[in-house]
Structure 1
């Protein structure tokens, strides 16, 4: 697949708590698009549109579920119209999703420039015991026609190395890790962003919500672990360029011109048992995008 680099904006914003947040969201997307006309994609933090931070902690789980919608709702369709108005790939963060069976998920959305809901991902590792959502079970990599492949990831997922590794194996050039970190561990998450980028040779874009609710410090890391941009604590927009060709070059020549993890195995190496997962690490299948592209 022929791809070109794309300018991506990480919109570090405070959560929207008004009953109808879409008017404020529409205005913010319009402002960002006008200020940075080169943008091909804008990414917002976790639960940016479905927040309950203005309520006491004990009341938030019920309030979050009350705000949740189905993916075929008018609320979701309106976000798609916002993407189409500005002809951009748009990740509005995540929303509360009510599934057909009534289950409640924390679901990341990605809309195409035509306004179509191109990909959805249910958070696999809710931050327990504090989050009320059910865990998702499917890894998601969104293939774009022109800008490469984007793995979807939500906050605490980044703490589980299997998650980022699987997205890279599925062919992701970049991991879009949307975050709502209000606790003291943002410093550790910055380390994880670099580590996940290094060991998988992918871009990692981690966009957190701004203070005073969140700890801010959104970060973008390149496939060798170099920091391309980092925000402070308040509202900010980081603009970076994601180039799938750079991912290919790093994997070809190695990180720092040395390490080529995805070329570790020879075809005649024995599979390595993985007792923790009840599976194996099979050299015949050890390559990014295996069987996908």
Structure 2
């Protein structure tokens, strides 16, 4: 397995909003100790902001990404030498915006990527919408993309991440409602349609409805949790992605290769754009 990515997906109940990071740091350290081979640790959406619900409550714990919370999280990742996705955080934007932002901290203790949720769950969530898709490179391994919870209900998001070269999509989730089974179906569908790994990590009960999943690029569920707190572990073989795109899902279907030379562009009236066969192929993933 030349491009192995050992993952620990932590299905846990949210931690109290505004509380000290010491408890979270101890939990991360415990997971890293119990799963020492894991290179990437992923937590659910808004994991550090449990109990908040209104715009005022979220704004009370919001910080810019240059603030002390992110500095402490980056230092934690650097001390442990792991890639850390602590879920998403309440980001205070430069103009006073309130974003639900997934962040990635590198083993070098740096903010490697941040993604503002493009599709807040309206009218229930008070967040402003982001305006860009985000991928990031794991040197020597591959490229990952970020989505936050309700983003998974919109096929455009994962499709763009795959087109931008993502081979694994990290979907951090805080679903407390009865539609989590549908989200599991969506995780499999995104994996199948885009031939990517999907790691969908939901909050645990009693607040969250769990059912975190890790799905391979052919849509097969590798790990599926119940509702209670647990840690899902797996080793993603990112070479599976180019292999399945070359030979097809179950050796048959290649959704990234539908066009022949000279095929006309396809108008997309919904987006005032088009699919151009000359630019359809996903970006190559640099591995250095």
| TM-score bin (small chain) | over 0.9
Distance 1:100 1:137 in 2: 14
**Residue in 1 aligned with 2:218?**
224
Q: Tell me which of 101, 111, 125 is aligned to 2:95.
A: 101
Task: State the Cα deviation string for residues 215-266 of structure 1 (Å, max 9, x = none).
Answer: 0010000000000101110100000112221101000000010001111111
**Residue in 2 aligned with 1:254?**
248
**Residue in 1 aligned with 2:272?**
278
Given that residues 17 and 48 in structure 2 are in contact (C-alpha distance below 8 angstroms), is that contact kept between their aligned partners in structure 1? Answer: no
Q: Give secondary structure in 2 for the equivalent of 1:249.
A: helix
Distance 1:76 1:50 in 2: 14
**Residue in 2 aligned with 1:188?**
182
**Residue in 2 aligned with 1:197?**
191
Task: State the Cα deviation string for residues 80-105 of structure 1 (Å, max 9, x = none).
Answer: 01101110000000000001111110
Given that residues 152 and 175 in structure 1 are in contact (C-alpha distance below 8 angstroms), is that contact kept between their aligned partners in structure 2? Answer: yes
Would you say 1:44 and 2:43 are equivalent positions?
A: yes
Would you say 1:268 and 2:271 are equivalent positions?
A: no
**Residue in 1 aligned with 2:136?**
142
How far off its partner does 1:288 sit?
1.1
Q: Give secondary structure in 1 for the equivalent of 2:270.
A: coil
Distance 1:20 1:8 in 2: 27
Q: Tell me which of 55, 62, 67 is aligned to 2:61.
A: 67
**Residue in 2 aligned with 1:241?**
235
TM-score in terms of structure 2 length: 0.97
Listed as ranges, the gaps of 5+ residues in structure 2 are: none
Q: Tell me which of 164, 167, 191 is aligned to 1:170.
A: 164
**Residue in 1 aligned with 2:85?**
91
Distance 2:149 2:271 in 1: 23
Paired residues, number: 286
Given that residues 14 and 235 in structure 1 are in contact (C-alpha distance below 8 angstroms), is that contact kept between their aligned partners in structure 2? Answer: yes
Given that residues 21 and 49 in structure 1 are in contact (C-alpha distance below 8 angstroms), is that contact kept between their aligned partners in structure 2? Answer: no
- Cα distance change on mapping 1:65 and 1:18 into 2, 3 Å: closer
Distance 2:33 2:267 in 1: 53
- Cα distance change on mapping 1:162 and 1:154 into 2, 3 Å: same
Deviation beyond 6 Å, 4+ runs, structure 1: none
Given that residues 199 and 215 in structure 2 are in contact (C-alpha distance below 8 angstroms), is that contact kept between their aligned partners in structure 1? Answer: yes
Distance 1:94 1:174 in 2: 17
Distance 1:267 1:31 in 2: 54
**Residue in 1 aligned with 2:6?**
7
Task: State the Cα deviation string for residues 125-145 of structure 1 (Å, max 9, x = none).
Answer: 000001000000000011121
**Residue in 2 aligned with 1:34?**
33
C-alpha RMSD over aligned residues: 1.4
Q: Give secondary structure in 2 for the equivalent of 1:168.
A: helix
Would you say 1:76 and 2:70 are equivalent positions?
A: yes
How far off its partner does 1:21 sit?
3.7
Q: Give secondary structure in 1 for the equivalent of 2:158.
A: helix
